[in-house]
């Protein structure tokens, strides 16, 4: 029993640390200040190591500790996930993300343009079709495919209509019993 | 009952502890052995193993029909998302495949694989998908199955596309519609909704720069949405490393989770502007080819499935379809898990797939044909 209670005590201690640590990080992120990891984690880490050493000295290690450790890590990750989600769910974060993306794209745009122009010039010099030409051909093939499909659909609809007309024309000629009526004899 | 002595209890407790230590030691040895295998074995599991045939193609899109006993009269069309990820997650591996599950239940299963779009497809729009590709695909399903109506199951963005189609074409021969984690009310679309807000996100700049939404940006967005996901999955892998079945599943899912695909530029522009930023679908302001998309024109039985921990499409975002449609028979299910675990993973075959199948089966009471009547097609 002593083993179990010591393991549970350890788990409780880590949970408490996790909650306090997460709170400290959330506050740091919320205040949009540069977080100092050592400042936030050092007290909890020292406290945890001391407690762990003391508990290990009191009781022999318990195999259940592994499962509890895994459980603790899961909860720790989940708590971090929640804290980050809260921080990322603010307009301040969305604005910062948008600004970062805008800056990155404004750098990317001339790079992309330059690369495309260089590739185009190289292919032209080698007498090979450029990317835009290949894309143009691909689009034309796609358009052609659309048209062919349209024609095939129309032909199918026409064939269906023709079939109906033929079967409608055949119907009066058939006897009610389904036999073909006899032709009238010419006088 | 005779009282047990303290020494007997103590002995039993020690035996238990010894057994648990032994078990843990064996698992650790297996972990080490399997770690070497995982690290050295680059072979990826075979995905998409269920037999199928291609029945239609349009641009990069392919319509596949899967082999099954086809004991259900009404065929089922599955519409997944366009771009972002590949659809082999729905047929991940034998024994862990949504498609395999439904085909074994006798459904005539069709998958619309939108394909991987390249630079030549930058002009593909959502309007084209809703008004041209989906109607054609529906027609092909009916033509090849010989059925008069079909069921439509949309997953993620595929459900939004399918809902848009059904609202645009109320006369579509659709018997049932299932929205599985598909966003409908974008005012409730969680973090993505906030990040893509027009005040912060300039979609024109992205599309004008790249001509598409590059796969790298898709990946960055998804990873940012849940930064602890990678750590969590690695920890779970380590914990379950002794279990061969878990490793196979992990490898298959991990391969899929790291294979992102781009989204055509104009499609992405429309997706962000009309759906995320202006929320036109649920407001009845979406218009294709001069016709308004009216969700309240959907009258067929509707099932909406949301996942409690879905951070891509929060359950309330998908649930909005229930209030929007004009159907009398409608149901919302909120299941445990996340966006992906609805459709793949260990809990999906237990919690989600049977609910989907049960809902469909309950609405097709006379659907089963005689076993001797199966000739490969439903007539």
| CATH label of the domain that carries residue B60 | 3.40.50.1820
Give the minimum alpha-carbon distance from A25 to chain B in angstroms, rounded to a whole number. 15
**CB contact A85 to B (< 8 Å):** yes
Chain A positions in Cβ-Cβ contact with residue B199 (cut-off 8 Å): 94-95, 98
Q: Is residue B120 part of a domain?
A: yes
Is 50 exceeded by the pLDDT of residue A176?
A: yes
The gap from C-alpha B159 to its chain's centroid, in whole angstroms, comes to 9
Interface test with B, best of A135, A136, A140 (most B CBs within 10 A): A135
Strand, coil or helix: what is B110?
Answer: strand
Q: Is residue B215 part of a domain?
A: no
Domain encompassing residue B357 = 52-193+265-363
**CB contact B350 to A (< 8 Å):** no
Q: What is the pTM of this model?
A: 0.77
Q: What is the rounded CA–CA span in Å between residue B316 and residue B305?
A: 10
CB count, 10 Å around CB of B152?
Answer: 29
Chain A positions in Cβ-Cβ contact with residue B123 (cut-off 8 Å): 139
pLDDT score at A2: 47
Tens place of pLDDT per residue across chain B (379 aa): 455 666 777 777 667 777 777 777 777 777 777 777 776 666 666 777 788 999 999 888 999 999 888 888 899 999 999 988 888 888 888 888 999 999 998 899 999 999 998 888 888 999 999 999 999 999 999 999 989 999 999 999 999 999 999 999 999 999 999 999 999 999 999 899 999 999 999 999 999 988 889 999 899 888 888 888 888 888 888 888 888 778 878 887 888 888 899 999 999 999 999 999 999 999 999 999 999 999 999 999 999 999 998 989 999 999 999 999 999 999 999 998 889 888 888 888 888 999 999 999 988 855 444 443 433 333 2
Report how many domains make up chain B: 1
Q: Is residue B20 part of a domain?
A: no
Q: Is residue B64 part of a domain?
A: yes
Q: What is the rounded CA–CA span in Å between residue A168 and residue A162?
A: 10
Q: Smallest Cα–Cα separation from B246: which of B27, B100, B98, B51?
A: B27
- What the block records as the tokens of A43 is 């007290």
**CB contact B200 to A (< 8 Å):** yes
Read off the pLDDT of residues B290-324 as tens digits, 9 standing for 90 and up.
999 999 999 999 999 999 989 899 999 999 999 99
Give the minimum alpha-carbon distance from B231 to chain A in angstroms, rounded to a whole number. 8
Give the minimum alpha-carbon distance from B341 to chain A in angstroms, rounded to a whole number. 17
Q: What is the rounded CA–CA span in Å between residue A88 and residue B288?
A: 35
Q: Is residue B39 part of a domain?
A: no
CA dihedral B192→B197→B198→B201, nearest 10 degrees, is -50
Q: Is residue B112 part of a domain?
A: yes
DSSP B90: G
Read off the pLDDT of residues A71-90 as tens digits, 9 standing for 90 and up.
778 888 888 888 888 888 88
According to DSSP, the residues that pair with B64 across neighbouring strands are: B54, B111
Q: Is residue B246 part of a domain?
A: no
DSSP B4: P
The gap from C-alpha B115 to its chain's centroid, in whole angstroms, comes to 15
Q: Is residue B258 part of a domain?
A: no
In what helix (H) or strand (E) does residue B102 lie, and over which residues does it extend?
A: helix B98-104
Answer whether B296's CB lies under 8 Å from B235's CB.
no
DSSP B151: E
Interface test with A, best of B195, B243, B265, B308 (most A CBs within 10 A): B195
Chain B positions in Cβ-Cβ contact with residue A72 (cut-off 8 Å): none
- What the block records as the tokens of B123 is 């002009």
Strand, coil or helix: what is A143?
Answer: helix
């Amino acid at each position: 029993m002593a083993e179990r209670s010591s393991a549970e005590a350890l788990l409780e201690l880590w949970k408490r640390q996790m909650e306090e640590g997460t709170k400290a990080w959330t506050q740091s992120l919320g205040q949009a200040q540069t977080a100092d990891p050592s400042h936030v984690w050092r007290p909890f880490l020292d406290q945890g190591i001391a407690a762990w050493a003391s508990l290990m000295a009191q009781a022999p290690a318990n195999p259940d500790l592994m499962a509890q450790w895994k459980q603790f890590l899961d909860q720790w990750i989940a708590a971090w996930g929640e804290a980050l989600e809260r921080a990322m769910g603010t307009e301040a974060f969305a604005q910062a993300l948008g600004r970062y993306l805008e800056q990155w794209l404004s750098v990317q745009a001339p790079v992309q343009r330059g690369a495309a122009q260089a590739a185009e010039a190289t292919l032209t010099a080698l007498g090979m079709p450029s990317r835009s030409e290949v894309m143009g051909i691909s689009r034309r093939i796609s358009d052609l495919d659309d048209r062919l499909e349209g024609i095939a659909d129309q032909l199918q609809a026409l064939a269906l209509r023709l079939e109906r007309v033929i079967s409608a024309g055949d119907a009066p000629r058939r006897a009610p019993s389904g036999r073909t009526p006899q032709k009238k004899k010419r006088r | 009952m005779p009282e047990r002595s303290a020494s007997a209890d103590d002995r039993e407790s020690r035996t238990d502890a010894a057994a648990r230590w032994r078990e843990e030691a064996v698992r650790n040895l297996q972990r080490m052995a399997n770690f070497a295998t995982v690290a050295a074995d680059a072979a990826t599991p075979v995905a998409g193993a269920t037999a199928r045939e291609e029945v239609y193609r349009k641009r990069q899109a392919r319509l596949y029909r899967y082999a099954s006993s086809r004991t259900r009269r009404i065929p089922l069309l599955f519409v997944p998302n366009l771009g972002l990820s590949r659809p082999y997650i729905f047929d991940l591996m034998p024994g862990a495949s949504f498609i395999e599950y439904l085909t074994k239940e006798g459904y005539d299963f069709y998958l619309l694989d939108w394909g991987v779009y390249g630079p030549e497809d930058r002009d593909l729009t959502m309007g084209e998908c809703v008004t041209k590709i989906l109607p054609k695909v529906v027609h092909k399903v009916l033509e090849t199955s010989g059925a008069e109506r079909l069921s439509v199951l949309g997953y993620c963005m595929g459900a939004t596309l399918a809902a848009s189609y059904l609202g645009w074409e109320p006369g579509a021969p659709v018997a049932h519609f299932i929205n599985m984690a598909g966003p409908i009310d974008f005012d409730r679309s969680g973090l993505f909704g906030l990040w893509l807000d027009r005040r912060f996100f300039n979609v024109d700049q992205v599309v004008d720069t790249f001509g598409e939404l590059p796969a790298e940006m898709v990946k960055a967005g998804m990873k940012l949405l849940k930064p602890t996901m990678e750590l969590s999955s690695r920890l779970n892998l380590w914990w379950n490393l002794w279990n061969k079945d878990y490793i196979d599943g992990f490898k298959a899912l991990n391969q899929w989770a790291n294979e992102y695909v781009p989204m055509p530029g104009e499609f992405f522009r429309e997706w962000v502007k009309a759906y995320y930023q202006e929320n036109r679908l649920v407001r009845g302001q979406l218009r294709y080819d001069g016709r308004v998309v009216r969700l309240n024109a959907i009258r067929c039985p509707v099932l909406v499935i949301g996942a409690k921990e879905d951070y891509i499409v929060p359950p309330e975002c998908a649930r909005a379809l229930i209030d929007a449609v004009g159907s009398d028979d409608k149901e919302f299910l909120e299941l445990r898990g996340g966006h992906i675990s609805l459709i793949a993973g260990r809990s999906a075959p237990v919690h989600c797939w049977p609910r989907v199948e049960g809902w469909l089966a309950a609405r097709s009471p006379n659907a089963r044909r005689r076993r001797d009547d199966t000739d490969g097609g439903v007539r």
